[in-house]
Structure 1
Amino acid sequence: MTLSRRPAHRDVPETAPVAGPIRVDPRTKNLTKRLTAGDIAVINHEDLDQVSAQALVACRPSAVVNAAASISGAYPNLGPQILLEAGIPLLDRAGEALMTQVTEGVDGSVVGNEVVVDGVVLAEGTRLDMPTVLEAMEAARGNVSQQISSFARNTMEYVKNEQDLLLDGIDLPELRTPMEGRYALVVVRGYHYKEDLQTLRPFIREAKPVLIGVDGGADALVELGYRPDLIVGDMDSVSDATLVSGAEVVVHAYRDGRAPGLDRVESLGVEDPIVLAATGTSEDVAMLLADGLGCELIVAVGTHATLIEFLDKGRQGMASTFLTRLRVGGKLVDAKGVSLLYRSRISGAALVWLLIAGLLAVVAALAATPGGRTLYQVLAVRWDDFWAFVGGIFG
């Protein structure tokens, strides 16, 4: 799409214009770290996924401008629908040139199908609405079979090249955190991870699992008042405060040993970070660590489980995740299943009867003591005085 610099149209568009400071970043998860309410978010995110959309909604921007196609038709991704349901305008296919033309922090506006700064149109796109998105999602459902075929081919190729992962796991480092015979809670910045983590409070309190945060998942643990035992990832989305919270840090590196996140960890003065070279995603590495170091059960929060979640992740990451689940499947439990087991099932009526039983127990205990009997005698006299007073009034 060719960008133009020309005066904005004076005609009032059917959709209300929105204005605010512009925040721009090609990586949505980086943008949401500094995006605040009322900003205009400029992203370059083809097939906007559910997790990214929810992160954008949590920041409450006045509008989202996507340089790429928010729904390309490859599969029915939920991101655009989530934004529109939250009442956030979405301008689609604005063109990649916008990413370099717009300046971070400058005041701008979205007027109809145009991005306007200082009265000049920087880009034109397509203002999505709910009927258009739903129609695109329905059309995309017909392409899911193609995605599954691609996934199968990619997985078989990955198994052929990385069969050692399935047979032997990964090279296990020596960690300070004891794991043998314990439960592990692996928290990933994924689908409903904060809500699921909240429901797992009884499980965490009773089972005292090893708390493993995968990149930004470690921040969710800290937000709920927990300190992660282990942080695993390439360190691109976890906060500085969490990294220096005292958790043991495992920097996920490429197979050739390159670890882009190590410089950041060392600059923060983190004690004895461990560099672990392995294929797959950081989510996979965290599970393989828990499995290989002897955890009896792995509870996963925010990880990928359904077909759409795997497609959101992309085929390159799907194969390793699928293979990892074959490896640790006997120990792996989804957070939603665990929360159902630990959820309180006490009804309101049961609580009332419990309260009554407690009061009766207190009454019986007082009646068995001299002080209690004296108290009851005093109360009885007061009760008689009260009824005498009432009788005198009406008599």
Structure 2
Amino acid sequence: MRLPTLRRTRPAEPGVIGGVVRLDRRTKRLVGRLRPGEIAVIDHVDLDRVAADSLVAAGVAAVLNAKPSVSGRYPNLGPEGLIKAGIPLVDDLGEELFERLREGDTVRVEGDTVYVGDDAVAKGQRQDAETVALSMADAREGLSVQLEAFAANTMEYLKQERALLLDGVGVPEIQTEIAGRHCLIVVRGYDYKADIDVLRPYIREYKPVLIGVDGGADALVEAGYTPDMIIGDMDSVSDDVLRCGAEVVVHAYPDGRAPGLARVQRLGVEAITFPAAATSEDIAMLLADEKGASLLVAVGTHNTLIEFLDKGRGGMASTFLTRLKLGGKLVDAKGVSRLYRQSLSGSSLVLLLASAIAAMAAALAVTTIGRAYLSVIAEWWDNLIFTLFS
């Protein structure tokens, strides 16, 4: 009998990644199409942490960025997140990356070079923990410049939206009853899953109005809740969630243009618009405040200066002023999960049970009723032993 010939396969070279590519110039859109093991091709200067977290959650094999993932303007948080998750990052690959690759192509990444077959299509910079740390150090030196720009944007926003911030002018009429109730506003941002999980007892007890900001509506549904309202530009909320019966408010530009409205209407969903220069998460807070919410609980929203800058948009100036306006009415759930998350070891559980039993025994021993019960139990035990061994 002739044995089959075994084909020798050459093992992959260290540092070589291969896979199918998915391309999109908007990372937010791309993550909806990615499958585990695929390679993400993005066009994202100063990759922010939210985008990086979504790529990690999608299980990508590598990230190829046409733009610099760290421009040096400020210490953005995305590249560090990818490197910590063990996902190779090659950036600054140039515009030709989108010209020479097509959706579904199989590529090979060797070091800092991208190949299709034997052809090198782009060459960039392979990032690692050391290069990212150096870039972050350089970026922190330029933080003062970005802070000045942020302050200028904040003043410009105040001039544009003074009537909205101070008097609520432009807030649309809604059907959802908010006056006197708590509102839980969910953005698919930093640590949103952990925070929603920690807030479950609060949601059960207070039954707040559930407001999903774009993809935050999907986050609520994934957690087992149905949003009462969906607010945003509608670029990252799924069709099924838009049809869930929630009241829909489409974020429009100050001039009234609302690109997301057409999509909502195509789905047969009624919607109203809210023109404003603020971000979607901010108009959700301003709307709830203007309609009389007694407390606003924010999940996944931006809270620190680095987080404001991490979005890299002038519109983030609205976030600072919105929080100043809301003051103590706004409770940010960020970090609550870290504060209350505890792990109980097996030995600790045994010790806890033993302490409880000892406490019960002590209580029985020092009370008249307890001693009577102990006498009954002792007599029952003696009778059981006698029966078994007689």
Q: TM-score, normalised by structure 1?
A: 0.85
- Cα deviation for residue 239 of structure 1 reads 1.0
Cα separation, 1, equivalents of 2:341 and 2:150? 36
Structure-2 change in CA distance of 1:230 and 1:185 (3 Å): same
Cα separation, 1, equivalents of 2:200 and 2:213? 19
Identical counterparts, % of pairs: 56
- Cα deviation for residue 170 of structure 1 reads 4.0
4+ residue segments displaced more than 6 Å: 340-347, 355-361, 375-379
Contact 2:46 2:312 in 1 (8 A): no
Contact 1:188 1:283 in 2 (8 A): yes
Aligned to 1:156: 155
Q: Deviations over 1:340-367 (max 9, x none)?
A: 8988999956666557778999xx89x9
Aligned to 2:48: 49
Task: State which of 270, 277, 281 in structure 1 corresponds to 2:279.
Answer: 281
- SS of residue paired to 2:259: coil
Q: Which amino acid aligns with 2:64?
A: V
Aligned to 2:73: 74
Structure-2 change in CA distance of 1:353 and 1:65 (3 Å): same
Cα separation, 1, equivalents of 2:164 and 2:103? 43
Aligned to 1:4: none
Cα separation, 1, equivalents of 2:115 and 2:95? 16
Q: Which amino acid aligns with 2:17?
A: V
Structure-2 change in CA distance of 1:95 and 1:313 (3 Å): same
Instruction: State whether structure 2 residue 309 is matched by structure 1 residue 307.
Output: no
Task: State which of 302, 320, 323 in structure 1 corresponds to 2:321.
Answer: 323
Q: Which amino acid aligns with 2:86?
A: G
Cα separation, 1, equivalents of 2:50 and 2:23? 18
Contact 2:92 2:124 in 1 (8 A): yes
Contact 1:278 1:285 in 2 (8 A): yes
Structure-2 change in CA distance of 1:160 and 1:26 (3 Å): same
Q: Deviations over 1:148-204 (max 9, x none)?
A: 111111211221232112211243333232111111111011111111111111111
Summarize the alignment of residues 73-112 of structure 1 with structure 2, pairs less than 5 Å apart.
73-112=72-111
- Cα deviation for residue 269 of structure 1 reads 2.0
Structure-2 change in CA distance of 1:330 and 1:169 (3 Å): farther
Structure-2 change in CA distance of 1:251 and 1:354 (3 Å): farther
Q: Which amino acid aligns with 1:322?
A: F
Contact 1:150 1:315 in 2 (8 A): no
Q: Which amino acid aligns with 1:162?
A: E
Structure-2 change in CA distance of 1:255 and 1:111 (3 Å): same
- Cα deviation for residue 122 of structure 1 reads 1.1
- SS of residue paired to 1:330: helix
- SS of residue paired to 1:187: strand
Q: Which amino acid aligns with 1:46?
A: V
Moved more, 342-351 or 132-141: 342-351
Aligned to 1:142: 141
Contact 1:203 1:339 in 2 (8 A): no
Aligned to 1:5: none
The answer for unaligned runs of 5 or more in structure 2 is 1-10
Summarize the alignment of residues 103-122 of structure 1 with structure 2, pairs less than 5 Å apart.
103-122=102-121
Contact 1:182 1:210 in 2 (8 A): yes
Cα separation, 1, equivalents of 2:144 and 2:13? 38
Cα separation, 1, equivalents of 2:107 and 2:335? 46
Cα separation, 2, equivalents of 1:206 and 1:344? 22
Summarize the alignment of residues 184-223 of structure 1 with structure 2, pairs less than 5 Å apart.
184-223=183-222
Aligned to 1:385: 387
Contact 1:250 1:274 in 2 (8 A): yes
Cα separation, 2, equivalents of 1:29 and 1:358? 57
Aligned to 1:393: none
In the alignment of these two chains, the number of paired residues is 368
Q: Deviations over 1:47-102 (max 9, x none)?
A: 11111111111112111100000001111112111111111111110001212321
- SS of residue paired to 1:56: helix
Structure-2 change in CA distance of 1:75 and 1:45 (3 Å): same
Structure-2 change in CA distance of 1:249 and 1:131 (3 Å): same
Instruction: State whether structure 2 residue 123 is matched by structure 1 residue 124.
Output: yes
Cα separation, 2, equivalents of 1:61 and 1:314? 24
Structure-2 change in CA distance of 1:170 and 1:377 (3 Å): farther
Cα separation, 2, equivalents of 1:285 and 1:320? 9
- SS of residue paired to 1:280: coil
Q: Deviations over 1:291-338 (max 9, x none)?
A: 011111101111111111011122412211112112212311110476
Q: Deviations over 1:129-149 (max 9, x none)?
A: 211111111111101111111
